Structure 1
């Protein structure tokens, strides 16, 4: 299944912040930064005994250290020349949704450069924090910051949204920077954007008819205002902020809120494959996007159910369990006499979904297929 095991939506990385230096002067500044930067660990060459006494961790060769800390820390501050850092991290850079934030500081602390993962990884904000410590100048080169335009990926990160198709980000960023017409479907206003922020934005809602991939009158008007030549084949681009899977034709950046709780009941020995297939089919039939799953929920009798545990692991989503006492008191639309006779509660999937979501907003009532029952609740 295309959505299984897709971790591109990671908005943060485990671990603390690494602060590394090589020269004696750089080490002294690194210790100063580490002391004032919560959640940071200082790495220094083994020869700097004074720093080791102060709690720094030793390394022998920088080229061996960097690959080791790359996946361990969510951000790194290097007190050394930018060229050294570029050569060391170049083979490790993979994808902006996964790479850690990288900041480079000269050993006098005069310039603090946001080098990698400025928005999504938080390097821009980290550079500003380090600059306040050193009294230096934060150097930020991302176009949206320089031009004082909203950064969609940063707004998404702050709103806790999952970027389903990050490959669309560059095209959306270009539209923002170059005043191109941009559609926005954000019924819950999660991004907080208005036309005061982006004059070229056009709001789309469910009252609009579906359109063909051609210019609409509103798009044409916006394009003319931006100085574009009218063209029947102009690209429609937009940002889709919703757990709803479908969107109009054109290029859309899909931002998914973690707004769905999937309640699951299953027979003993049910495989992860069967559970995931039923979940996928139920969501597809309802027009909901799997990346919007916040977590799974079930009864505590299933806490050792291997297939259920594996299904949650494959989707990298938490699994919450509730006692039968908790589930017994939840009113549900489709109680089951058979389940009540078997385990003593009238509902597992619906009741667990409602309890975990913390709301009575059941978007999909109990659906049964084979050995699996599924219900979906919306998170307020």
Structure 2
């Protein structure tokens, strides 16, 4: 099927991949066809005048009209767009449809000879820089990346810890803190929890970036900016560090949950929220909820895991009974075959023998809280 591009009309695409490859020249089409055959997660679009007859069997989509009219549909449908079009033309075409760096797809440009692959849009958050490297590797081309943190091989503030699943508490200071990093100003790092292997270059941290043992120590050092990694809610005095800082939430909290059959999502969620507030922990740092395998079909727990995108892990009674817990219960054993559910489940998943909260019963829910040690 050939797509006919008309002004003001949305195009209905046949999507198979997560990346779109677009070509508009004879040489570009040949290059794109080769890339498409290697890059498994891609869909290919090129002008119908370059039709070769095998497009249907190769799931290639042809189009007629100005490629500019295809871009709004591609922006909505794909994680990344690889264009074998001149850089200047691409910049002019995408300018009217740009929205926000948090939602715009990655855009990568390849020259007509396939010698250079250029990261154009959404280099960090959208993944264009990584896509550029991947495509350049396939084509044996030169990747062109201009993002300061990548060029300087330092911390990319907006991506810091993203490979571990860390979340920022707020994006408010991403830009000024990034500026402090690339301008080699004094930047403090405090890490209270989470993965330690976040520095992945073969050279030491720049001298301008200092690691401190506590938030208080970092405040005393009076840095220009700060990166704080913790599952904990900061107190009022500690929040001074965030005047030009980014707070990251590592996924380290494990919730062991026991509940009566049919307990609602709302009740379980309410207990979790109140418990974390009492502990002064952030819900953004929760990684998993754990229970006994008798609860693997519990609708409230399933809905909770889906709502927050948490792991939901269930263990057998035998697995739970291997853990040494503070408060074994004969009553729980009578109904489940395990001497405890929330405590040993949290310990098993986290790998920690010490619990932040041993056990609390509230209504139909019993909860224990563990932290994953790194």
| TM-score calculated relative to the size of structure 2 | 0.79
Matched, 1:192 2:199: yes
Distance 1:57 1:358 in 2: 49
| 2:293 alignment counterpart | 300
SS at match of 1:166: coil
Of 346-355 and 142-151, deviating more is: 142-151
In 1, the alpha carbon distance for the partners of 2:354 and 2:18 equals: 37
Equivalent residues of 1:15, 1:72 under 8 A apart? no
Query: What displacement does 1:340 show?
Result: 2.1
Q: 1:328, CA displacement in angstroms?
A: 3.2
Structure 1 residue 332, shift from structure 2 partner: 1.8
- TM-superposed CA distance for 1:114, in Å, is 0.5
Aligned counterpart, 2:5: none
Q: Which runs of 5 or more residues in structure 1 are unaligned?
A: 1-13, 223-235
Partner-residue secondary structure (3-state), 1:55: coil
Matched, 1:87 2:93: yes
Cα RMSD for the two superposed structures: 3.2
Q: Which residue of 1 aligns with 2:124?
A: 119
Moved more, 365-374 or 245-254: 245-254
**Partners of 1:167 and 1:379 in 2: CA distance:** 28
Contact kept? 1:330, 1:351, Cα under 8 Å:
yes
Task: Assess if the C-alpha contact under 8 Å between 1:19 and 1:77 holds in 2.
Answer: yes
**Structure 1 match to 2:212:** 204
In the alignment, what sits opposite 2:232? 244
Q: Following TM superposition, where does structure 1 have runs of at least 4 consecutive aligned residues deviating by more than 6 angstroms?
A: none
Q: Distance in 1 between matches of 2:57 and 2:335?
A: 61
2-structure distance, mates of 1:164, 1:107: 42
Corresponding residue number in structure 2 for 1:356: 349
TM-score under structure 1 normalisation? Answer: 0.78
Residues 181, 60 of structure 1: alpha-carbon distance in 2 compared, 3 angstrom cutoff: same
2:180 aligned with 1:175: yes
Structure 2 spans left out of the alignment, 5+ residues: 1-15
1:23 maps to which of 3, 22, 25: 25
Q: Is the 8 A contact 2:174 2:246 kept in 1?
A: yes
Q: Distance in 2 between matches of 1:86 and 1:304?
A: 52
Alignment pair present for 1:157 and 2:170: no
In 2, Cα distance between the equivalents of 1:360 and 1:39?
43
Equivalent residues of 1:361, 1:379 under 8 A apart: no
Contact 1:120 1:157 in 2 (8 A): no
**Distance change in 2, residues 1:361/1:120 (3 Å):** farther
Matched residue, 2:277: 284
Give the superposition deviation at 1:372: 1.4
8 Å CA contact 2:72, 2:97 repeated in 1:
no
Separation in structure 2 between the aligned mates of residue 366 and residue 46 of structure 1, nearest angstrom? 66
1:345 equivalent in structure 2: 338
Query: How many residues were matched structurally?
Result: 346
Whether contact under 8 Å (2:292, 2:316) holds in the other structure is yes
Structure 1 residue 116, shift from structure 2 partner: 1.9
Please tell me whether the aligned partners of residues 294 and 318 of structure 1 are also in contact (alpha carbons under 8 angstroms).
yes
Distance verdict in 2 for CA 1:260–1:69, change over 3 Å:
farther
Q: 1:350 to 1:86 in 2, by over 3 A?
A: farther
Number of the residue aligned with 1:269: 262
Change (3 A) 1:207 1:255: closer
**For 2:46 and 2:85, how far apart are their aligned partners in 1?**
12
- Measure, in 2, the Cα distance between the counterparts of 1:41 and 1:300: 41
Residue of structure 1 in register with 2:135 after alignment: 130
Task: Rate the CA distance shift 1:38–1:15 in 2: closer, same or farther, 3 A.
Answer: closer
Q: Say which SS state the counterpart of residue 362 (structure 1) adopts.
A: coil
Structure 1 residue 53, shift from structure 2 partner? 5.9
> Which of 51, 55, 58 pairs up with 1:52?
55
